[in-house]
A and B are shown apart, each in its own frame.
Chain A
Amino acid sequence: MDSYGRIAALKIETAQDRAHALIEEVRRVENKVYASPGSSCVLTFVSDAADRIAALLEGQKAITSAGLLTPSQIETRLHRITNLIPLLHQLLGFVEGSDVHRSPAQLIPTLRRYTQSILPGSEIVVSSKSELNYSIQDIARPLADLFKGTPLEASCALLPDLLFMMSIPGVESGKVLIHGVLSHELGHAIYNKKEVAKELLPKIDFKEDLVKGLVKTMFENQAKQGNPTPEVRLRKQVTQEITTRVNSWIKELCSDAIGIRLFGPALFFAAAHLLVSFRPIDKCSDTHPPSRLRVKLMIRMLKQLYPVEKWRGELQSFIKAWDEVSGDPVSTANAYDQVALETINEAALDLISDASASATSLAQCYSSDQFSRDTRDLAPLLLHDIPPGETGPYGHGAAVTLASVINAGWHVYLCDFEAFRKRLHSNDSATRFTTAAKLHELVLKALEISGIRVSWEEARGDSKRGKN
């Protein structure tokens, strides 16, 4: 065996060792108690896939010894396969923090049911992470797509159709009102599943003159330089920068729009509280639009879908301030951002809003009437320290939905915070933080009660159908 052959054999062997270590790790953590069955699905997948990766690597020995590929081609091929191992590590990382001790267990059953009602056949894993970030990603479809037609295809059968890995900041896991932003993330899932881009993107009117003007200016500026970027590379750069921005910004905005339809004002309130705290309003990237544009879209939609002018004064002034701010022009850092901004104009925002309506059914959407009922019926219960998890006459109560509880919570937070504070014990009302913590506790308790109520109804239904 020549030297390169030995190195290839060593790469295969060490990768197989690492695959085995993954199987061992799964054995170590699989007996923890997880808040959702999704965690166990991921662990079973990792173990099975690691075993198959080891076999796949074994199969590469024939290719490496066939003399068809050069040493560097063999190396690239082997590294591609060994990169599946850190991918499995990422999956284990998703599961970490999803056990009952670390994740917000009261929220999960309700969130799980809600997600399954929006996207049937889906499963969720909620993990508390050390990062200050919210995210939700489906891992089942990307994995099925990656492994289709390979020996690892069988491992994907161990996963549900859609498996959402949600992560929330561990230190804020109890701040349930902020978790309203998860509806934006569900928007991403719906955007992908309903293939919204296919219908929406061709309707966006690209300003051809704008793009060509930018290219012309860039070419002219480059020509003046002593060592200009070669023309095909400049073309590549402009094409990539613009297409990535416009595609990604539209996806983000449409996810906001879907989130507004699912959760109503609660998404806007949660987003506004996060945006105002942590991000300059005009900051954007190639993947994310400036917050000012996102706020503009959300407020436009709220004004269209809700009688904002009839809301309580506190809510009206909150919306008004953001409306004024979002009406001012975005100050952009570069020409690519400017092209994206001018492309995503008022007409494009209308198209995005319409696309979000097509992607969601009426039954899935939170409504203006519901918001009125929730602020009228549920918010006063919170004010009296009663978690509104179910409503209706004794013995005939019905579970309150996730969106209703969170909207009622926001209403109290924004309109009646001082009244809520005054009714609390002095220990709980000492500071704004302790008062807010008490409100979050009540909202979480309401979600827990709602979850129990639905479980009870499901169990009763199963019993009536003769199931055990």
Chain B
Amino acid sequence: MHSEHRFSDLTESLKSGFLLDDIVLALARAGKGETLDNSDRLLLEKAVSLLQSAEAGYHWLDKPELTSETNSSATFFARAVNAMPSVYANEAFLEKVSELKAIAEELSSGRSVPAPDKIHQLQTFFYNTSQSELERTEGLLSGEGGADILKWTVMDE
């Protein structure tokens, strides 16, 4: 059965997964006390952007407007919620994201090095997110979800 997703959904999922894997690797280096090079710092800047995107996705309901960024921020908000299985309340979520963002910002700026447990916390978050993205990729490869091609006729919806 030909899968019902758009090819670009799959490539986007893979791209996002590769980025998350590289962020996890950069954080592993930081956690082991290695000096971060420019490419690692760039990755951590992207980590900050992703966390900002999760915050934007969270706030969408407060002021529902559409932009070309709406989908990606809603998606990363969902990924972030999934990556924090023990967080249930809105305030706790925002607090946690803000905390993670501060750690990522500190690392990317290179001004100081956060405590190892903080780095580990950030690494766990991004690892959980990367696993969730891997599941999405595998779902798309097996033809589940993300249906986006023309369905003039629907076979199995």
Contacts and interface: CB of A to CB of B under 8 A. Distances in A.
Contact of B15 (A72, A135, A145, A201): A145
A243 interface: yes
Interface stretch (A113-121, A278-286, A298-306): A278-286
Contacts of A467: none
A167 B131 CA distance: 32
Nearest to B24: A73
A423 interface: no
B147 A236 contact: no
B106 interface: no
B117 interface: no
Given A232-B81, A239-B60, A132 B18 contact: no
A235 B57 CA distance: 10
Contacts of A212: 61
Interface in B43-62: 57-58, 60-61
A209 to B, nearest CB: 10
Interface size band for A: 35 or more
Interface in A183-229: 184-185, 188, 195, 197-198, 201-202, 204, 206, 208, 211-212, 215
B61 A235 contact: yes
B149 interface: yes
Q: Is the interface of A mostly helix, strand, loop or mixed?
A: helix
A262 B68 CA distance: 24
A202 B66 contact: yes
A292 interface: no
A198 B68 CA distance: 5
B66 A185 contact: no
B2 A167 contact: yes
Nearest to A63: B25
Contacts of A239: 57-58, 60-61, 74, 77-78
A68 B15 contact: no
Contact of A275 (B14, B74, B152, B155): B152
B118 interface: no
A139 B11 CA distance: 9
Interface stretch (A77-85, A318-326, A412-420): A77-85
A206 to B, nearest CB: 5
A273 to B, nearest CB: 9
Interface in B10-53: 10-12, 14-15, 17-18, 21, 24-25, 28-29, 32
Closest 8 CB pairs of A and B: A230-B88, A142-B11, A201-B66, A142-B8, A274-B152, A135-B149, A278-B153, A146-B11
21 contacts: A68-B28, A68-B32, A73-B28, A76-B127, A80-B21, A83-B138, A133-B152, A136-B150, A137-B8, A142-B7, A142-B12, A145-B15, A206-B64, A211-B64, A232-B89, A239-B57, A242-B64, A243-B60, A248-B148, A279-B154, A285-B151
A349 interface: no
A68 B29 CA distance: 7
A286 B154 CA distance: 13
Contacts of B24: 69, 73, 76-77
Contacts of B141: 83, 86-87, 90
A238 interface: yes
A253 to B, nearest CB: 13
Contacts of A279: 151-154
B71 A131 contact: no
Contacts of A211: 61, 64
A233 interface: yes
Nearest to A251: B148
Contact of A185 (B12, B137, B150, B155): B150
